[in-house]
Amino acid sequence: MAYLSLQGINKIYPNGFHAVHDFNLEIEQGEFICLVGPSGCGKSTTLRMIAGLENISKGEFLIDGVRANEMGPREREIAMVFQSYALYPHMSVYDNLAFGLTLQGVDDDIIEEKVNNIARILGLTDYLDRKPRALSGGQRQRVAVGRAIIRKVGVFLMDEPLSNLDAKQRVTMRSEITDIHRKVGSTTIYVTHDQTEAMTMADRIVVMKDGYIQQVGTPFDLYFNPVNMFVAGFIGEPPMNFVNCSVENGCIEALGSNVALNNILSDDMLGKYEGKPVALGFRPEGIVLGEVKNAYVFSAEVVLTELLGDNTNVYVNVGESSLILKVDPHDTPKLDSTITFSVPYENAYLFDLDTELVIEKK
Ligand code: ATP
């Protein structure tokens, strides 16, 4: 296990493209960190700099307190699983797992013990004689993970390792990877563009956009206390609803109602935002059907309902705004009907539309 320190890390590619800006993060021993963000935000570049596959243009990278910028990939004692599993097709599962140790000249009986142990952890014992082509996608993925963790390394890097699997396999492998992490305990950095994967697996999530860190926090933190509109919209499925408004006399005209902001903002903040453009945000699951106390109450036209089993997504129009509400399937409203819904004050967010930063509530 190792702890990592990334201090002011930047990546500027030879063509001048600045892919990662001032990346700062302290990663504790044994922590499971997920890097998330849309395509092209710099997740893989960051991971590859940690692995030693890309040089660091500026900043300092430390492993266990020792500068590692100039260390080669092998020296860093880091193992990596890529999107493509890159198994050797002509070798059996056993030989694929053993390969790294064989190269290192480890004794055969020790290799056998380690391969059997890893195969047991990963549920591959019955498949050791098979070639990769005779395995399912999920089983291949487990061999790739096994090959990486069989060498005792301090840090384990994974770049979208589940992207080739179907939806069901992804869910299974997700819990398997968390389970393996618990058993092996290696510091893990996991790259994904899938916020559900990050929410379910990570100790802490790093949300990136355009090469910049937007927020670092526990899944709980990011969901309940997003620092800006990007994080608020990225974490959570379906995404948070936003309604653009401007503050007039301490109120906003939101969805046809006059919404008093003194319920959620301090007098200081009310003064600061008078006359400014803001966005009211609330999560699809943060609403209550009908009219309740201590809440903003709105009236909406139902345009589409999607029954998903454990909930129904209700697509509504309120004036010009299209919104999504999440309701209990038993409460699914009729198409084209008019419904009333409430956003309790504690579930309402307000964002500064100039900076897109969240406005601190009282
Ligand atoms: P994805 O989820 O699509 O893999 P990502 O967040 O991992 O995306 P990166 O692969 O890190 O993104 O790329 C970040 C940015 O750097 C992208 O705009 C990409 O086009 C650019 N980039 C990547 N490799 C190079 C390179 N060798 N030279 C120049 N630009 C590059």
Q: Which of 299, 297, 295, 287 is nearest to 331 (CA)?
A: 287
Which atom in ligand 1 lies closest to the alpha carbon of residue 20? Answer: 14
Ligand 1 mutation target, pool 21, 34, 36, 41, most atoms within 8 A of CB: 41
Is residue 43 one of the residues assigned to a domain?
yes
pLDDT digits (tens, 9 = 90+) for 260-270: 999 999 999 99
Q: Which of 173, 207, 233 is where one domain is finished? A: 233
Contacts of 81 (CB under 8 A, 6+ apart): 144, 145, 148, 156, 157, 158, 159, 161
CATH number at residue 83: 3.40.50.300
The CATH code of the domain that includes 288 is 2.40.50.140
Question: Ligand 1 atom closest to Cα of 11?
Answer: 16
User: Could you tell me the distance, in angstroms and rounded to a whole number, from the CA of residue 53 to the centre of ligand 1?
Assistant: 14
- C-alpha 172/C-alpha 323 separation (Å) is 32
How far is the centre of ligand 1, averaged over its atoms, from the C-alpha of 192 (Å)?
A: 13
User: How many residues are there in the chain?
Assistant: 362
Residues 136 and 100 in one domain: yes
Q: Are 162 and 227 in a shared domain?
A: yes
CA distance 93 to 144: 10
Measure the CA–CA gap between 97 and 147, rounded to whole angstroms: 5
| Residue 52 and residue 169 in one domain | yes
- If asked whether residues 214 and 254 sit together in one domain, one would say no
pTM: 0.90
Predicted pLDDT at 85: 66
Both 260 and 142 in a single domain?
Answer: no
- Compute, in angstroms, the gap from residue 40 CA to the centroid of ligand 1: 5
* Ligand 1 atom with least separation from CA of 37: 6
* Structural domain includes residue 358: no
User: What is the pairing mode between strands 251-254 and 241-248?
Assistant: antiparallel
For residues 149 and 28, membership in a common domain is answered with: yes
Q: Is residue 140 part of a domain?
A: yes
Q: What DSSP character marks residue 178?
A: H
Chunk the chain into consecutive blocks of 10 residues (it has 362) and report each block's average pLDDT, rounded to whole numbers: 93 97 97 95 95 95 96 87 78 93 90 91 90 88 84 85 77 83 88 92 97 98 97 95 91 86 91 93 97 94 96 93 96 96 96 96 88
Query: Nearest residue CA, atom 1 of ligand 1?
Result: 39
Total domains present in the chain: 2
Rounded to whole angstroms, the Cα distance separating 213 from 77 reads: 26
Let me know if residue 126 belongs to a domain.
yes
Q: CA 342, CA 297: separation in Å to the nearest integer?
A: 4
Last residue of a domain, one of 233, 266, 300: 233
Whole-number pLDDT of residue 257:
82
Task: Kindly give the distance from the C-alpha atom of residue 21 to the centroid of ligand 1, in angstroms, as a whole number.
Answer: 13
Is 42:49 a contact under the CB 8 Å cutoff? no
> How many whole angstroms separate alpha carbon 218 and alpha carbon 192?
16
Q: Are 129 and 17 in contact (CB under 8 A)?
A: no
End-of-domain residue from the set 233, 264, 291: 233
Cβ pair 311, 326 in contact under 8 A: yes
pLDDT at 103 (0 to 100): 86
Domain of residue 332, residue span: 238-352
DSSP string, 159-216: ESTTTTS-HHHHHHHHHHHHHHHHHH--EEEEEES-HHHHHHH-SEEEEEETTEEEEE
Please tell me whether residues 254 and 202 are part of one structural domain.
Answer: no
